[in-house]
Amino acid sequence: MAVIDISPYSGDHCESTTLLNMLRNHDIELSEPLIFGLGQGLSFLYWHSKQMPTPFLAGRVKPDQLIRNVADALTLELRAQETASAAKAEATLLQALDEGDVVGLKLDRYHLDYAHENHHFAAHYLACIGYEDDRFVVVETRSLGVQSTSRESLTQARSARGPMCSRSLAVRVGPGGYEESVLAKACRSSILATAQEFLDPPITNMGFKGITKAASLMRKWPERLDRPAEAMGIVGTSMEEGGTGGGLFRTMWAQFLEEAYELTGIEAYDEVAVEYRRISERWTEVANLLRDADDTTVRPALEEAASIVDVLANDERTAMARLEEASR
């Protein structure tokens, strides 16, 4: 079989890039920021378990939720299939590709032929757009673009275990009841849901409370981490370059709010977009402070970074409260 004839898109974030290519195959053209926003993508999580050598600062909702939220918002047909059988997983994928569907796959990219990962992450998404002989053609994010990988490597990547993994998850989407006229209402509903979750998080590690907690815990990293400077570099790089679009996903959220303003005419969205662009720049400043620190500057860098994060907790709380009020 040849590769499905679409114009592949490689974006910033893996899950939104995957869904964009799936929708494009059905002639639904949405921007990546719009998909991210409709997916209620913006969030915050601070996580550091005893098994983790470095803390994790996440700026988005957990894997799988973004695609599901977009499907709900736009009344799309979503078919997700998991299986512990590698043979069944491959057969299902081949059938979907033969039927002309772009398929979203959740896997650990570490195992793929073209990858040069130095860590495992079993909740990565990519779009599979075809196969040729014994190789599969996939669409990655911007740094990798369109790639091909062997049947064996794809099977291994799809069946990998680890935090947030699935059993060879494959996702297909259909236009279902989608109509372009629903976009304005969907934007408003998604912004309201995102703001409410951010302002009233289920645990104190999330939302604006999580940002406040992160600021406090960052100051304790020199005592709690074996190699603080190294860990800070990993955290800062992840915040800025780990598929976030810069500024811990805040740039992408600002772009979404600008599009939401164009669709709804709600001026608060445009005004808060300006604020979130400023907030994004401050998160980038935090990431750079962490990345640039060495063994001699760990404490002052952390103090400066934590002070910025403290302010950002209040800034984001204020911005989200305004979005919540404007979206009711």
Identify the structural domains of the chain with CATH numbers, from first to last: 14-30+77-174 (3.90.70), 181-327 (no CATH)
Strands (DSSP E) along 54-168, which ranges? 56-60, 77-81, 103-107, 124-132, 135-139, 146-150
> What pLDDT does residue 1 have?
61
Please give the single-letter amino acid code of residue 122: A
Alpha-carbon gap, residue 21 to 145, rounded angstroms: 12
> What pLDDT does residue 52 have?
86
Alpha-carbon gap, residue 162 to 108, rounded angstroms: 9
> What pLDDT does residue 176 have?
83
DSSP 151: H
Chunked mean pLDDT (size 10), the chain, 328 residues: 88 98 97 98 95 92 97 95 97 96 97 91 97 96 96 97 94 91 98 98 97 97 95 96 96 98 98 98 98 97 98 98 98
How far apart are the two ends of the chain, measured CA to CA in Å? 49
Alpha-carbon gap, residue 96 to 103, rounded angstroms: 7
User: Are the C-beta atoms of 130 and 172 separated by less than 8 Å?
Assistant: no
- Two structure tokens written together for 52: 């983790």
User: Are the C-beta atoms of 103 and 114 separated by less than 8 Å?
Assistant: no
Claim: this prediction has a pTM higher than 0.75: yes
